[in-house]
Structure 1
Amino acid sequence: MSERFYVGAYWGPRRETALECARRAEVFFSMLARCDPSFAQWYRGGRGAPLDLPGHPVRPEVAEWEQLFLRGMNRTDADGKVIEELGFTEFVWNAKKERTRVELHCGEYSPSGPGNTCLLYPPEEGAGRERLLCASVLAEVLTSVATAWEPDFAMASSTELVRLIQKRKREVRVGWLTYLSRRLGMVPPLPAPVHIEPVGALGWLLVLSPNLMTASNPEHVTFTARVRELLDRAGLIERPEPESVGE
């Protein structure tokens, strides 16, 4: 069975309005469109979508994303009241088959919530998957995520590799490619062939190998674990419990 790869970005409580999140989404999808041709158009669910399309086309505009986020606010089961502190949730995809899916959860400022995330799942098979599972493409995707959403950390890896490497429930996850915000601290020297490059003034992108890294390769697991240990010694792995954001 092939491993399931994904890009995941994570950040703590950050109170933002639907408009502020929409501005970030516009930047993100604009940058994402330059990473791969398949990222040029995205679609959402809902009744009445054209039968010949994957869903309702999403216009890459702030106004469109603001309305989507307002529609995706969390509500109570009992009376449908908006739970403002849990922020906004929306997901989109780019095709009927061999689709890439993006899930967004932003604007949350509750310390007890699931956390703010931007998740991208490439196709599970096909030519699109092979094209996207490339270090240079994923580096551009992570740069887009970091620039638009300013997460604490982000990574591109297989779910299986992350599970083998992660030691604590709450920690910075290290994968094939890893982004670390400057808010976490300074990145220590790391062994070859790790390539470290800055992402503007926001943080650093770590590419552990120019070639695909998998959980099925023991050498890949051992090397990723070694990098995680070095980052842990530098104080970059432990994540403190989130604090409330003031009203």
Structure 2
Amino acid sequence: MKEDYYAGAYWGPRKETALECARRAELFFHMLARCDPSFTQWYRAGRGFPRELPGWPVRPDVKELEKLLLHGRHRTDVDKEVIEDLGFSQMMWNAKKEATDIHLSCGGYSQWGGPNSCLLNPTKESPIRERILRTPVLAEVLTSMATAWDPDFATATSIEMGHLIKKQKREVRVGWLTYLSRRMGKVPPLPAPVRIEPVGALGWLLILSPEPMTASNPEHVAFTARVRELLDRAGLIERPEPEPTS
């Protein structure tokens, strides 16, 4: 069975302006472009774009990204008023067919809204998919997310593995690669072949295996569950409910 992999970074309520989020997004896209050649050009929706292109080309600079995020503000259904505490969201992709896509949700500070996040869903087209789904590339992707967005945690794994490992709605998602912010606590010793690499002064990147880990392999599932258990014992899995905001 072919599994659906993704890379995602998540953080709790953080009130930031569109400009502050745009600065983070600019850094993210510049770092992401170094991870793989297919990550150098992104596109957005909009009327009237040239039909030979996947959409309107996005320039990864602060001014354009700020405009995009402001356009992606959440609004009420009836009078279309901006819902400030839900922040901003935007989606981009890099091809007309079988694209890799990115979903950004940032600047939200409501306890009732979903988490702030940066999600990357790799293309299903070979051989680009095989090139992306390698440990060195995904490690760079998570490092880019961690450096730009300063999330609480990030993971690169398959959706199927997530269903087997995750137990609570609000918890750190442990996968093939997992990033943990230092805010979450201290990473305990973990069994081989796990590699623990620092991401600057922000946190730690845990690489469970140099090869892809799949939900169809019972040994991979058992080992991922074991790592999750050790992290849980160290107090790194459970995430508290967001504090009410005024």
Which residue matches 1:36?
Answer: 36
Which residue matches 1:45?
Answer: 45
SS where residue 31 of structure 1 aligns? helix
Letter in 2 for 1:136: P
Q: Runs of 5+ in structure 2 lacking a partner?
A: none
Letter in 1 for 2:107: G
Normalising by the residue count of structure 2, what TM-score does the alignment of the two structures yield? 0.99
SS where residue 198 of structure 1 aligns? strand
Which residue matches 2:17?
Answer: 17
Q: CA deviation at 1:97?
A: 2.2
Q: CA deviation at 1:245?
A: 4.3
Which residue matches 2:237?
Answer: 237
C-alpha distance in structure 2 between counterparts of 1:244 and 1:65, whole Å? 29
Q: CA deviation at 1:125?
A: 3.2
Poorly superposed stretches of 4+, deviation over 4 Å:
none
Which residue matches 1:81?
Answer: 81
Identity of matched residues, %: 72
Does residue 174 of structure 1 match 2:169? no
Q: How many residues align?
A: 246
SS where residue 51 of structure 2 aligns? coil
Q: Runs of 5+ in structure 1 lacking a partner?
A: none
Q: Contact 1:35/1:140 (CA < 8 Å) preserved in 2? A: yes
Which residue matches 2:136?
Answer: 136
Q: CA deviation at 1:114?
A: 0.8
Q: Contact 1:109/1:244 (CA < 8 Å) preserved in 2? A: no
Q: CA deviation at 1:178?
A: 0.1
Does residue 66 of structure 1 match 2:61? no
Normalising by the residue count of structure 1, what TM-score does the alignment of the two structures yield? 0.98
Which residue matches 2:210?
Answer: 210
Letter in 2 for 1:165: I
Letter in 1 for 2:104: L
Residue-by-residue CA offset, 1:3-55 (whole Å, 9 max, x unaligned): 00000111000000000000000000000000000001000011101111110
Pairwise CA RMSD? 0.7
Q: Contact 1:172/1:239 (CA < 8 Å) preserved in 2? A: yes
SS where residue 89 of structure 2 aligns? strand
Which residue matches 1:116?
Answer: 116
SS where residue 28 of structure 2 aligns? helix
Q: Contact 1:11/1:153 (CA < 8 Å) preserved in 2? A: yes
C-alpha distance in structure 2 between counterparts of 1:186 and 1:223, whole Å? 20
Which residue matches 2:187?
Answer: 187
